[in-house]
Structure 1
Amino acid sequence: MSRSYVVTGGGRGIGRAVVERLLGDGGAVVAVEHDPAALTWVDGHPAGRRVVAVTGDAADEAVAERAADAAQVAGVLAGWVNNAAVFRDASIHSAPVRQLRELIAANLDTALVGCAVAVRRFLSAETPGAIVNVSSHQARQAVRGCLPYVTAKAAIEGMTRALAVEYGPYGIRVNAVAPGSVGTERYADFLASQQPATAAGIEQEMARLHPIGRVARPQEVAAAIVYLLSGDAGFITGATVPVDGGRSVLAHDPEAR
């Protein structure tokens, strides 16, 4: 039986790139997405029945269980990628504390639920497995106005280490990747909404922030995630791998000017 995987936020951007990479390697993949419009590409995909769409909130345990069920029908559940995220800024001086808590939970809960369901399924099946959580360079290099996102991503990295320690003896590896800025559909739409001169200035600033001189391609982040899911990474656990073009080591503050 083939290996199967669950990828949350699998309809677009990094998630879609991970799905395509895993399908290309012969696996079966369940793509979880809150927005059904982001999963229309599943119908008629060349991979056929090896790709399954599940619509719903990845922070809903019932949705995660449904995705796990579908994955285990398709093959032996071997990996889970917690990629779903919410991007909303808020500052502690202006936003109600309840709103801040909700925004932190919006990003933390998707990873927590995914990890919980994946670990339980691996243990129940008595099979090894790998989890990759998608963090951000902001977990270590905060950007102003992004307190909820920074807090959630830092918590996800701590959870990654805790799970790696607790479940390593059962053959379960848990790692994270921390991307910098990535040229997803969201990024492209943002640039397209700007005046040409403004968009050009943003791209110049992104080049300045990343020593490699550009933002990442989703496929480059996906390659790191798929590696961490693979047997080639069999002795890597509890790690957060920066996939940020050197942004976190250069450490320019985009608000400094």
Structure 2
Amino acid sequence: MKFSLNGKNALITGAGSGIGQATAFSFAEAGAHVWIVDLNEAGARQTEAEIKQKGGQASVLLVNVTDQAAVIEAYGTPDSIDILVNSAGVSHIGKLDSTPEADFDRIYQVNVKGVYNSMLAAISRMQAAKKGVILNLASIASSVGIPDRFAYSMSKGAVLAMTLSVAKDYVKEGIRCNCISPARVHTPFVDGFLAKNYPGREQDMFEKLSATQPIGRMAKPSEIADLILYLCSDEAGFITGCDYPIDGGFIKLNN
């Protein structure tokens, strides 16, 4: 079977919801033992239960990715770390002059330091095995200017740069590192954002946001997960140090 992950341990941060959860479902279907790394116990347990109901293998690691010591301890639990997907992330709306220091620090702690902590905890185990795959979630904001996303864009630009650095430094040790850059994806975060900021106008605003994508809609989490599955599979063994836009044409066609 192509894109099989049989016998592999895959750690996925933020797997309690959204893209991380969709990736966990996809990886479990492909045969991986999925390690659900999340701070939200309810979401993590739901993901675990759904995977096991379908005959898949899943375990939960309740950990805050901003806590380096806790991440290192938790990542010592699996027998091996074959795949690491850094999907955990938070967002912020605001320009430079409307981004308080506390919000800037919050975005940095999760989106930048969280990715650093996870890669640091996994890399020595991959080095010992002389193989491994790391896949980071960047964003179209890594490559183009997005209005009112100053702190978020900062963090995703850092994810892209870290991806390239890790790919360069560990390519000779059998470790691949790539990232993907989604545009808008219809996740629970989007629904929550619309409900909070546009009460009574959710559907209208959803359609307007969807229309900003040249393809005319937002991505489904499962579509993002399918690209992640490919890049983490043996079939992508010749790919490292790359960023893959999955954006409905946003970067190239929105000129």
What is the TM-score with the length of structure 2 in the denominator?
0.88
Q: Does 1:231 align with 2:234?
A: yes
Q: Is the CA contact (8 Å cut-off) linking 2:28 and 2:56 kept in structure 1? A: no
- In structure 1, the residue corresponding to 2:133 is in which secondary structure? strand
Structure 2 counterpart of 1:57: 64
Kept after mapping to 2: 8 A contact 1:64/1:113: yes
How much does 1:192 deviate? 4.7
Query: Paired residue for 1:255?
Result: none
State the alpha-carbon separation in 2 of the partners of residues 201 and 106 from structure 1.
31
Cα shift at 1:111: 0.8
**Which piece of structure 1 moves more, 97-106 or 20-29?**
97-106
Task: Kindly indicate whether residue 12 of structure 2 is the aligned counterpart of residue 18 of structure 1.
Answer: no
Over the matched positions of the two proteins, sequence identity in percent amounts to 28
* Residue of structure 2 equivalent to 1:123: 127
Q: Cα offset for 1:250?
A: 2.5
After the TM superposition, which of the residue ranges 114-123 and 235-244 deviates more from structure 2?
114-123
Give 1:195 deviation, angstroms.
Answer: 4.5
Return the letter of the residue paired with 1:11. Answer: G
Query: Could you tell me how far 1:251 is from its partner in structure 2?
Result: 2.9
Contact 1:141 1:251 in 2 (8 A): no
1:48-87 alignment to 2 at 5 Å?
50-72=57-79, 76-87=80-91
Which residue number in structure 2 is paired with residue 112 of structure 1? 116
How many residues in Structure 1 have an aligned counterpart in Structure 2?
Answer: 247
- Structure 2, unpaired ranges of 5+: 1-5
What TM-score, normalized by structure 1, do the two folds share?
0.88
2:189 pairs with 167, 170, 186, which one? 186
Q: How does 1:93-108 map to 2 (within 5 A)?
A: 93-97=97-101, 99-108=103-112
Task: Give the stretch that moved more between structures: 243-252 or 6-15.
Answer: 243-252
The DSSP-based 3-state class of the residue aligned with 1:80 is strand
Amino acid at match of 2:131: P
Whether 1:171 and 2:169 are equivalent positions in the alignment is no
Whole-Å Cα distance in 2 between the matches of residues 40 and 98 of structure 1? 30
Task: Find the aligned partners of 1:225 and 1:66 in 2 and give their Cα distance.
Answer: 26
Comparing 223-232 with 83-92, which one deviates more in the overlay? 83-92
- 1:199 is matched with 202
Aligned pair in 2 of structure 1 residues 163, 231: CA closer, same or farther (>3 Å)?
same
Question: Is structure 2 residue 34 aligned with structure 1 residue 29?
Answer: yes
1:160 and 2:163 correspond? yes
Letter in 2 for 1:36: E
Where structure 1 has 5 or more consecutive residues not aligned to the other structure, the ranges are: 253-257
Do the aligned partners of residues 85 and 212 (structure 1) sit closer, same or farther apart at CA in structure 2, a change above 3 Å counting?
same
Q: How does 1:124-143 map to 2 (within 5 A)?
A: 124=128, 126-143=129-146
Offset at residue 86 of structure 1 (A): 1.2
Moved more, 157-166 or 203-212: 203-212
Alignment partner of 1:89 is 2:89? no
Return closer, same or farther for 1:91/1:131 CA change in 2, 3 Å cut-off. Answer: same
1:146 equivalenced with 2:149 (yes/no): yes
Match of 1:220 among 223, 232, 240: 223
CA distance in structure 2 between the partners assigned to 1:205 and 1:250 by the alignment? 17
Residue in structure 1 matched with residue 3 of structure 2 by the alignment: none
Cα displacement string for residues 125-181 of structure 1 (whole angstroms, at most 9, x for unaligned residues):
x23110000011111122222211101100110111111111000010000011111
Give 1:99 shift: 4.6
